[in-house]
Every structure is written in C-alpha cells, then in structure tokens.
Amino acid sequence: MRVAVIGLGSAGSRHAEHLVALGHDVLGYDPGSPPTPENVRRVEDLEAALGDAQAAVIASPNVDHRDQALSALAAGCHVLVEKPLALNAGDAARIASAAHSASRVCGVAMNLRFHPGLLTLRSLLIAGALGRPLLSHISFGFDLRLWRPNSDYTRSYSARAELGGGILLDAIHELDYLLWLLGPGRAVTARLDRLSQLKLDVEDTVLATVELASGALATVDLNFFEPSYRRACRIVGEGAVAHWDWRTRTVEITGEDAHLVDVSCDLSECYRAVVVDFTEAIEQGRPTRASANEGVATLILADAIRRSSATGRRVELAL
C-alpha cells in the first residue's frame, strides 16, 4: 500500500525503511531538513503526503501528534502514531474517537510489546506461573546526552516543554507495558522533578506508586540522567518472582521452578514487527497490538501522575 511517513527523524526514518523493505510505496514529509531515506519519495507538504496515501505513520515531535493524526484520519488514512498517542488523555481520546467514526485502524508504535523479554513476562502471567501478582517494580534510566550522540540534546523534543518533552512521555513505554502486563490502574501517588544539571525545561525524574485494580501495587522510576542504560521489570507473585533485565538480556524466574530465560534479540526486529503488525491489522480489519484505546488508557495514567505530583495527593483513575 502507499504509506505517508510524517516526520523523518530517527523514528520516522526507521519506520520508512522497514515499510520500503516490506514492499510498500512510501511518501515522506518533514518540515525540517533531515535526510530522506532511500527509496522514499519526499513531498513538500502534509496535504500532499496524506492526500495520496492509504495509511500514515506519525513520527513528528509529540506536540504535533494530535493534529497530524486527526488530519490523517480525516484524509481517510489508517494511522500509526509514534508513542505517545498525544500529549494528554483528552487529545488521545479525540484521536481514538475519530478513528472509530472513520472505521480506520489506529495504533500506537509501542515496540517493547514485541520484545521477547516482555513477551516472556506476559506468557508467565497468562499461564499463572508466578501465582497472583502482588508487587512490581518497573524502571528506566539513561543520560539524555547519550540518547542521540550526534545531536545537541538541548534542541531535541525530549528536552523542550514546547515540543511535548520530558521523561514521563519519553519513557511512556513503561506505563504502557505496566497496564498491558498487569491490568488497569486504580490510583496513583507520584512525584515529577528536575534533579539533574541537564539544560532542559521539563522533568527529568518520575517516581510513582500505582495501585492496580487487581489490588497489586507497582512502582515506576524513570530518569534522564543515569550514566549507563537501565531498563528492567520485576514482578513478585505469590508463587514466584520474574525479573527482566535489559542489560543481561534475561528473564530470571526464582521460586520452586527457578530458571533463566535468554531473551536476546535484534532490537530492529521489534521495530519491524510494529510496522508488520500495523499493515496486517489494516489487511485483516483488526486492532493493532497497541491500540488507540490502550494509548488513551496509558495517557490517563500519565495525566494522573502529573496531577498527583502537582497536588501532592493520591489521584484515583476512572476504571
């Protein structure tokens, strides 16, 4: 099919390259001047890109996701939006509603849902191998200056409030897979802060305790300043514990049936899987693995984290 990729930065270029490799006709639009990926036909404005496409991938700065996704849906395109779906749950709900009204597929590019580490955790939970989950800890940290080593981090959307930056939305994968693995949230107590000497006007730290509808508790910690890459999830069940560690590429299960699972993978395959899932969802008339409605739920949690931090109070989530 013909797919318009809106935004040709690192994420957009990656999506475009995978779409080309899968045999799709790819149009590219970016108001800036990043290089155009090979075999992508660049167009000069958003309308030209959307008007001649059956599907669109929105990979622009976070602040543009809502308007560009709505424009793509209005043009009749199926839509895949880079995380987050929008800056807040209200805007995300507008996108999900527009997609439903237009009978278009609309998904969120959550590549970690295709990572064997999280797929292993999900399989263990579905099989009941851990017993009833009681406590979880989810974490991510890395120095923003090292994320994109060939560019000035202060100019990136991640560091700028006007572009929708901040660690909460940049690391929204962690909130997404928390709900995907453990079910809906009931309430949250959280703090956002700017603790480092990084030159940014957004939060670089998130600490949150999430009460789940199941009665379990989960803690989430995120930061923009940790010197080495850290990403992990520990789930403590009544019968066993599972711990996924990005750096060791393992899921360690401790308990009566203690063992280690190798979850090494080529990360590019996770990104490719997002695109394959999106195009197959269009062909099969089904939701993507991370649907627009799930993107709304994740942003409801993110909004509640912000409100809790601003008020210093526990915030309940609508179930």
Only one residue has tokens 């949230």, namely 185
Q: At residue 185, does pLDDT exceed 70? A: yes
Residue 144 CA to residue 141 CA, distance in Å, equals 9
> Which letter, b or e, does each residue of 161-188 get, where b requires 16 or more Cβ atoms within 10 Å of its Cβ?
eebbbbbbbbbbbbbbbbbbbbeebbeb
Question: pLDDT tens for residues 259-272?
Answer: 999 999 999 999 99
Residue 78 CA to residue 168 CA, distance in Å, equals 27
**Backbone Cα Rg of the chain:** 19
Q: Which of 153, 184, 185 is nearest to 170 (CA)?
A: 153
Give residue limits of the domains in the chain: 2-111+273-288, 116-264
**pTM of the full structure:** 0.96
117 sits in which H/E element? helix 116-127
Q: At residue 319, does pLDDT exceed 80? A: no
Question: pLDDT tens for residues 128-164?
Answer: 999 999 999 999 999 999 988 888 999 998 999 998 9
Fold of 116-264: Dihydrodipicolinate Reductase; domain 2 (3.30.360)
Sheet holding 55-58, edge to edge: 41-42, 25-29, 2-6, 55-58, 78-82, 106-109
Q: At residue 88, does pLDDT exceed 80? A: yes
Question: pLDDT tens for residues 24-47?
Answer: 999 999 999 899 999 999 999 999
Question: What is the per-residue DSSP string for 63-105?
Answer: GGHHHHHHHHHHTT-EEEEESSSSSSHHHHHHHHHHHHHHT--
Pick the CATH number of 2-111+273-288 from 3.40.50.720, 1.10.357.10, 1.10.3470.10, 3.40.50.300: 3.40.50.720
